[in-house]
Amino acid sequence: MNFQANLIAKHISKWLIDYANSAGIKAFVVGVSGGIDSAVTSTLCAETGISTILVELPIKQSESELSRSLELCDQLTTTYRNVQKITVELDDVFESLQEALPQLDSSSLELTLANAMARLRMTSLYAIASENAAIVVGTGNKIEDFGVGFYTKYGDGGVDISPIADLVKSEVFLLGALLKVPMSIQTAAPTDGLWGDDRNDEDQIGASYPELELAMRQTAEFKDGVGTKESLKGREAEVFEIYSKLNKANQHKMLPIPVCKIPR
């Protein structure tokens, strides 16, 4: 498995180099959060030798997340001469946005504001990319991007390239171990960092990433005629239902924007 992880890491770094060269890109911009996905992505970018700009974007963020993000940035800026760090403080901007918006009073207010945070971060990343002839590198994995749609449309989903989006979460953790990302990140429960408290991804989704990976494999098998969902029992059936419901509800994120075709 370590040998495979090594090959995958080299493949992704070469893919990043080839893309940058063909597109005339001078730098990568990566938003770092203190999580495994951004840690692996930023390290793979650093490995290319191409200028890599790590951007911390704290908004109401927990101290543990900030601490892990700082540890990663310190490790990468010390190890790689092509890496630099920028911090963009967004607390005041977010509060100004809240004040400028019409009175928000709905059952989905908390989610609305969380998505607004993600979109402020995206705007900041693109501003930095524009100033540095760079592109914004996505940090989403396969489960989030193509399984349950666990990201903000035009927020953390607003990126130019996605180097780890064909890897499920367990594979990202394997790459993290190979790349020696800080142990504090490797052992932290995955979280999107949009709530300012200790809730993690499993709390929000209702299932762990290993459970969701199984549901994704089962979905593919059922489509190929291998088994049926009726054969699932207990927790497997429960998670499959969670996965299927989120996958269906979030297709608007995963599919191209619908275009009204005019008959000629």
55-111, pLDDT tens digit by residue? 999 998 888 899 999 999 999 999 999 999 999 999 999 999 988 888 777 767 888
Identify the pLDDT of residue 3.
60
101-140 pLDDT tens trace? 887 777 678 888 899 999 999 999 999 999 999 999 999 9
199-229 pLDDT tens trace? 899 999 999 999 999 999 999 999 988 888 8
User: For helices 169-178 and 2-23, what crossing angle results, to 10°?
Assistant: 90
Angstrom CA distances, 160 to 68, 131, 137, 205, stand at 25, 15, 6, 26
Identify the pLDDT of residue 157.
95
Tell me what the mean pLDDT of segment 141-165 comes to: 96
Task: Name which of 41, 97, 33 is nearest 71 in CA terms.
Answer: 33
1 confidence band (pLDDT: 50, 70, 90): very low
Identify the pLDDT of residue 206.
95
- CA–CA separation, 115 and 106 (whole Å): 14
Phi then psi for residue 215, to 5 deg, are: -65, -35
Rg (CA), the chain: 19
pLDDT at 2 over 70: no
Phi then psi for residue 54, to 5 deg, are: -90, 130
Q: Report how far Cα 226 is from the mean position of its chain's Cα atoms.
A: 31
Tell me what the mean pLDDT of segment 137-162 comes to: 96
The residue ranges of every structural domain in the chain are 2-204, 206-257
Q: Write down the pTM of the prediction.
A: 0.93
Identify the pLDDT of residue 197.
73
Which CATH class, in words, describes the domain spanning 2-204?
A: alpha beta
228-251 pLDDT tens trace? 888 999 999 999 999 999 999 999
* 44 or 106, which is more confident: 44
Q: Report how far Cα 26 is from the mean position of its chain's Cα atoms.
A: 22
Mean per-residue pLDDT over the chain, rounded = 93
Tell me what the mean pLDDT of segment 12-24 comes to: 97
Q: Which two tokens stand for residue 96?
A: 């100004």
Task: Name which of 52, 65, 206 is nearest 136 in CA terms.
Answer: 52
